[in-house]
Each structure stands twice: as C-alpha cells, then as structure tokens.
Structure 1
Amino acid sequence: MPWMNEACRPGRHGGRVMWNYRRVAGGAAQPWLLRSVPVCSSTEVLLSRWLKGPVEFDQACAVVAAHQRWGTGQWGRRWSSPRGGVWLSAALPWHGEGSGRAGLLGLAVAVAFAERLECHGLPVRIKWPNDLVLYGRKLAGFLPSVTQRGSSVRQLRIGFGLNICNPVPIEGIALDQLDRVGSHDPARWTAEILLALDRCQQIGGDGSWCLPALNRLLWAKQIQHPKDGRTWMISGVASDGALQLHHGTRYEEWRRWSS
C-alpha cells in the first residue's frame, strides 16, 4: 500500500495533529510534512525509507504511529510503544554555522519541549542524556542523530516517545495520571512536540543556546557513581553536551552514561 500524506484528511490522526498544530502556532506555523500510520514496527524505519525516496525534502517531516511494536532507544534497546502515547520520528533540515553535536541538539529539543510542559504547570526535569522525568518517573524519551556535510550539520533526526494515556511501567508516568492536564489527546501533544522542534530549527546552530535552561532543568544535583559507589555532585552540562561531575578534587565528564 503506498504512502499517503494524511495531514489534510479530516477525522484521521494526522489531520487532527495538524489542526491542533496550526491552531496553537497561528501565523508561525511551518509547512510540516506529516505521515501517520495506525501501527508499525518502528517510526525510525519508516522515516528512513521515506527520506531515501526520489524527492529530497527541504522542509521538516515526521512519521507518527498510534502503536509502535519495536521502537529503538539508547544502546539499541527495543520496546513496545502501545496505543495512547506519542511515538514520532522527525527529520529537520538544519541551517546555521556550528558543527553541532547530536547529544547537545537532542538536549536542546528536550529543553524546548520541557518549557512547553512548564507552561502547562508541569514541573518536568531532564534526566541526562535521553529522558524527561516528572516527579522522578519517566514521562518521555528522545534519541537524536545528525547528518553532517563537512563540519556542518545538514539534518537533525530525532525519535520521540511521550506517555499520555498508554500503560506505563512502575518507573514511568503518563499525563493522564495528572489532574492538572486538561487534554489527554495524543494528537494535541504531538502538535506540542512539533512546536518545540520548530523552535529548535529556527534557532539552529550547535544547540548551545539551551545550556542555561538545561542546567536549570537537570533532574538531580548528585548521583551515585556506578563504578565506585560514591555520591558525586553534578556540576552541569558542558558546551558539547557532556555531563560534568565532581567528587572532592576529582572531576569527570560523561558523554555517555558511565557503566
């Protein structure tokens, strides 16, 4: 069955997403290309197939699924993404100077979306390097990658998963568990993610703009080091997205979670 662009089909999920997006974005709405499917193995796989087609896109595009059977996360881990959440993979043409780093650009997306959640009264925090947490429990996860030409980023890819009214494990949390959230419609929250991506694309560059807010939004001030078992203080996030820690006179920078 050939791909269909559902962005303008009323009554379908893609149409609802774009209706919500244009309603909130108003005159700042961007010409997103959105494809919506009821179920797939992985939105990342579908997006990759789309991008390998005969047309080279010069605008942002995304694939969203109501149910994803085999999503891919950090370290290549796989998980089922049941109905009721937002399961999305997006590709954004990238402009501006600066080489950018996938980790820092992914954290910039996390900051942009976290600030939108704060506008809804949700005290979300960013758990370095790939999660958004609420009251200490995982609300969302993201996985960024970049395509470079020379030293400049030409495209940002990001996979995004958000718990709304789907079943979650004990360590997770979904928006429908919170009284203060007015909408539990995945289409509404998909639109919020697109708006956060808009902001990041419009700023462009290497993602360093997010660092002041990122350091404010970090989930903890200290962590137990997995190697020595001691409590290390979190100093902040470096200009390349690394997590900075210290214990007495010892300093470390993590560019991936230490194990």
Structure 2
Amino acid sequence: MLIHFNIQHFDSLDSSNKEALRQAEAGANEGEVIVAKRQTAGKGRLGRTWHTLEHALAFSVLLRPKLKIEQLSQLSLLTAVALQETLAMYNPHIGIKWPNDLLVQGQKISGILTEMRCTKGAPPTVVLGIGINISKPKQGWPEDINQPVTDLESVSNHKVDSNKVLNTFLQSLNRWLDILYDQGFAPVRNAWWRAHVASQAMVRVYDGQGYIEGLAIGLAEDGALRLLVNGAEQRIIAGDVTVMES
C-alpha cells in the first residue's frame, strides 16, 4: 500500500524531527514530510550537532508502520537503502556506512536519524530524519565538523535540484516499504549489504568504551553489524565504524 506524502516547507524550525513528532502527537497521519531550510537545534546520532547549512536538504518523514516493535529497527536500514538508491543516480560510488551514514570515497554526503515513539494499544510512530549535502556552502564547511564531507553537486559535477532529490527519495521509500511489507526484511538486508562500503572488509569499531577490530561479514535481522573477531562472531549494536586500510 503506497503512502501519500504531504510535503510541508518551513523557513526555520528547532528540528524537523521534533516538528514531525509534535504533529504525530497532535494526530497527524502517516506521510507528513517536514522540510526545514534552517534548524536551530538539529541533532544527529549520539547527540551530535546536525548542521543545516545553505543548500542542504534537511527533512523528516512521519511513518506509522505496520510492524512489530522488534522490527522497527529495520526501518533505519530500509531508509538507508532508499537513500543510497536515490543518491547513486548522481554518483554510483555513493555507499552506506553502518549504521546511518552515506559516503562517497570516504566523505560523508548524507546521514539518517530515526526516532520512535510507542504507546500501548496504538501503532508505533517513527520519524525518519535525513540530511543531504546538496552543494558546498559559500563560506565553506563548519570547522567543528570532525570528518571529511562532500556534496552532491561536487560528486556529480552538475547542478542538483533538491526538490527532485526529495521526490525521488520518497518514491524509493514507498517502493522499499512495499517490498518490506510484502516480502519481509531479506530483500532489504540484501540490498543494504550490497551497498555497504565495508562489506567483507576489515573494520575498526568504537563502541563508546574501546575499539573492536574484525571482518564485517553481515547484517543481523535487528540491524546489528556482524563481525568476525579472532575467529568468533560478534554483534555490534551501536558504534562508529572505520574501514581499515588493506
């Protein structure tokens, strides 16, 4: 069943995710899309600042998925698949880095932050927060960004229409949600793994306490990254992944 998306544009918000959650609490339907030119309190994963710069596309999508609570984590992975499919139209080398970033040649071009609310007796509320660097800011990238970054116009060598990017992504999201509901998680997981920049590669993961090194061998049903560490499989639930040089 396809979702009818309703796109709302805002000049400024504290956070597109927060606005989507506010609308959800007020009874908004699935399919509301909140686009913010500017965010004053945008957050990324692990509480990091989410920069909304000029010529960036920042938006949130409200879903009320027909999934069990233990399946909700699959939506972040599905979102990454739909987003990679969209951005690869501009550069085929754009890939996914577990758990929620999209990179090209080691440079971040997009990120995903998923937030969920569950109330007994009601369908879960899921908000997909997405930021895409459309073009390089005139003043350059902020100094407090602690990783290499790039943008769609730089990696595609032509002007990019952010509205077209958004609409193409929503079409892809609809298609992958339909696949998930009809065929289960396996096709999503397979597509995610094919697009992952570290599939069958040695990685180093920082889990907040220390570093773990191992071979990335797969993705679990709940979204955990499966590593082969000293001959034994280990599941990584959360952390930052770096692909090790061969």
Shorter-normalised TM range? 0.7 to 0.9
Residue 37 and residue 92 in structure 1: after superposition, are their counterparts in 2 closer, same or farther (change >3 A)? same
Pick the aligned partner of 1:193 from 169, 175, 182. 169
Counterpart of 1:159 in structure 2 is 129
Q: TM (normalized to structure 1)?
A: 0.76
Counterpart of 1:74 in structure 2 is 45
What residue identity is the alignment partner of 1:219? V
Q: How does 1:32-51 map to 2 (within 5 A)?
A: 32-51=5-24
Asked if the contact 1:98–1:153 (Cα under 8 Å) also holds between the matched residues in 2, the reply is no
1:98 is displaced (CA, Å) by: 4.4
What residue identity is the alignment partner of 2:195? L
Residue 202 and residue 228 in structure 1: after superposition, are their counterparts in 2 closer, same or farther (change >3 A)? closer
For the residue of structure 1 that corresponds to 2:135, the secondary structure is coil
For the residue of structure 2 that corresponds to 1:212, the secondary structure is helix
* Paired residues, number: 228
Pick the aligned partner of 1:136 from 106, 126, 149. 106
Question: How far apart, CA to CA, are the structure 2 residues paired with 1:29 and 1:208?
Answer: 20
- Structure 1: gaps of 5 or more residues: 1-27
Matched, 1:116 2:92: no
1:191 is displaced (CA, Å) by: 1.4
Residue 258 and residue 159 in structure 1: after superposition, are their counterparts in 2 closer, same or farther (change >3 A)? closer
1:52 is displaced (CA, Å) by: 2.4
Question: How far apart, CA to CA, are the structure 2 residues paired with 1:230 and 1:64?
Answer: 37
Pick the aligned partner of 1:252 from 234, 237, 242. 234
Counterpart of 1:232 in structure 2 is 214
Counterpart of 1:223 in structure 2 is 203
Q: TM (normalized to structure 2)?
A: 0.80
Percent sequence identity over aligned pairs: 22
1:30 is displaced (CA, Å) by: 4.9
Asked if the contact 1:146–1:153 (Cα under 8 Å) also holds between the matched residues in 2, the reply is no
Asked if the contact 2:58–2:130 (Cα under 8 Å) also holds between the matched residues in 1, the reply is yes
Counterpart of 1:241 in structure 2 is 223
Asked if the contact 2:63–2:126 (Cα under 8 Å) also holds between the matched residues in 1, the reply is yes
Residue 245 and residue 184 in structure 1: after superposition, are their counterparts in 2 closer, same or farther (change >3 A)? same
Residue 165 and residue 120 in structure 1: after superposition, are their counterparts in 2 closer, same or farther (change >3 A)? closer
Counterpart of 1:12 in structure 2 is none
Residue 203 and residue 57 in structure 1: after superposition, are their counterparts in 2 closer, same or farther (change >3 A)? farther
- Structure 2: gaps of 5 or more residues: 242-246
For the residue of structure 2 that corresponds to 1:160, the secondary structure is strand
Pick the aligned partner of 2:191 from 202, 208, 213. 213
